[in-house]
């Protein structure tokens, strides 16, 4: 039957765009801010795109074979995406996760059959990557997709996310805003949008407390999912026109405001991206422009992180 899918992975992508009508009004925006809601993906985040893409790419290249073990250092959402894909395709999965990340993400990973190894929060993603390399050397037939450097990451955004944005706005997008974790989203989308229209501005978002993309020092921060503490190989700085640094409190406050003004429960990094987009929307030079901001996931994954505890 034409409207019935046979595999959950077929539901990845084609996420909706939503104009933040009330939020724009409350922020006295001069530009139109539109959110791409990636939590509409089947496992709930933008990382569903790269989780499936990296597995399929590895299979096609013979890096993954029956009996292989997938090992991945991740801040959570990529692990969840890999977990649902690995479960569907029959692979054992070990996720290396900094202990600072939310309980919700850990429980989701375990529910999907992933094995968890936690690393010290103080070591950030660098510590998780070192642990993944250590385990891969000990386990036969281990494969690390390594989202931070895997070309399949930006490629899937180039061929899906960017094309969806262009299609759904009828090419009327002036500025694209996204947080940077692995660098795949900002690079893949940025490269393709600039091919379609070189005048499109690409704006990256990073934590104020860990501004490595801006040339600053790595530091602890509370914006889960972005700000890995190093410049990822997948980050293409040449397509980025501006970097906006967002403070913890601004990211949290904006996420709460979106819940109350739009009914949108989005994660902390979505709040950071929305804050950056609203700052851009207030600039006189951006009057009447269309800003598309990517919201990576749902706020339900951060309830234990006190995201909604304050008014």
- The CATH number of domain 47-143, selected from 3.40.50.1100, 3.50.50.60, 3.30.1490.20, 3.20.20.220: 3.40.50.1100
> 181 among the known binding-site residues?
yes
Q: Chain-centre distance of CA 100, in angstroms?
A: 17
8-22, 87-101, 191-205: range with lowest mean pLDDT: 87-101
Tell me the angle at which helices 47-60 and 77-89 cross, rounded to the nearest 10 degrees. Answer: 50
Residue 1 pLDDT greater than 90, yes or no: no
- The whole-number pLDDT of residue 38 equals 98
> 77 among the known binding-site residues?
yes
- The whole-number pLDDT of residue 311 equals 47
Number of H helices, E strands in the chain: 10, 10
pLDDT in tens, 236-289: 999 999 999 999 999 999 999 999 999 999 999 999 999 999 999 999 999 999
* Rounded average pLDDT over 190-212: 99
* Rounded average pLDDT over 15-21: 98
> 267 among the known binding-site residues?
no
Active site residues: 47, 269
> 298 among the known binding-site residues?
no
Residue 310: pLDDT band with limits 50, 70, 90: low
Residue 305 pLDDT greater than 80, yes or no: no
pLDDT in tens, 39-70: 999 999 999 999 999 999 999 999 999 999 99
Residue 95 pLDDT greater than 70, yes or no: yes
Query: Does 3.40.50.1100 match the CATH number of domain 8-40+158-305?
Result: yes
On whether the CB atoms of residues 172 and 193 are closer than 8 A, the answer is no
On whether the CB atoms of residues 177 and 294 are closer than 8 A, the answer is yes
Residue 214: pLDDT band with limits 50, 70, 90: very high
User: In this prediction, what percent of the chain has a pLDDT beyond 90?
Assistant: 81
* Rounded average pLDDT over 84-92: 90
pLDDT in tens, 38-47: 999 999 999 9
pTM, rounded to two decimals: 0.92
Residue 89: pLDDT band with limits 50, 70, 90: confident
Average model confidence (pLDDT) across the chain: 94
- What CA–CA distance (Å, rounded) separates 262 from 175? 21
Residue 103: pLDDT band with limits 50, 70, 90: confident
> 229 among the known binding-site residues?
no
CATH 3.40.50.1100 in the chain, residues? 8-40+158-305, 47-143
* Rounded average pLDDT over 15-37: 95
- The whole-number pLDDT of residue 196 equals 99
CB crowding 4-26: b at 16 or more within 10 Å, else e: eeeeebeebbebeeeebeebbee
């Amino acid at each position: 039957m034409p409207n019935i899918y046979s595999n959950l992975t077929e539901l990845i992508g084609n996420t909706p765009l939503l104009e933040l009508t009330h939020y724009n009004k409350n922020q006295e925006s001069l530009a139109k801010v539109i959110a791409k809601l990636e939590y509409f993906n089947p496992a709930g985040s933008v990382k569903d795109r790269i989780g499936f893409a990296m597995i399929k790419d590895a299979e096609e290249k013979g890096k993954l074979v029956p009996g292989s073990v997938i090992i991945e250092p991740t801040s959570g959402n990529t692990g969840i995406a890999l977990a649902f894909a690995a479960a569907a395709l029959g692979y054992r999965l070990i996720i290396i996760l900094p202990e600072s990340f939310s309980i919700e993400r850990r429980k989701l990973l375990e529910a999907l059959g992933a094995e968890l190894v936690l690393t010290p929060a103080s070591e950030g993603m660098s510590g998780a990557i070192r642990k993944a390399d250590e385990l891969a050397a000990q386990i036969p037939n281990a494969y690390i997709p390594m989202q931070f450097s895997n070309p399949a990451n930006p490629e899937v955004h180039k061929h899906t996310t960017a094309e969806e944005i262009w299609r759904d706005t009828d090419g009327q997008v002036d500025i694209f805003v996204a947080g940077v974790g692995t660098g795949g989203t900002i690079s893949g989308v940025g490269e393709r949008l600039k091919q379609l229209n070189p005048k499109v501005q690409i704006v990256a978002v990073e934590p104020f407390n860990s501004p490595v993309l801006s040339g600053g020092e790595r530091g602890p921060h509370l914006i889960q999912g972005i700000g890995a503490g190093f410049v990822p190989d997948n980050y293409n700085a040449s397509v980025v026109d501006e970097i906006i640094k967002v403070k913890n409190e601004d990211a949290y406050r904006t996420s709460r405001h979106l819940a109350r003004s739009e009914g949108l429960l989005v994660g902390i990094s979505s709040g950071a991206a929305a804050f950056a987009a609203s700052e851009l929307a207030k600039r006189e030079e951006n009057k009447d422009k269309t800003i598309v901001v990517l919201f990576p996931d749902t706020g339900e994954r951060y309830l234990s992180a006190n995201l909604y505890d304050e008014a």
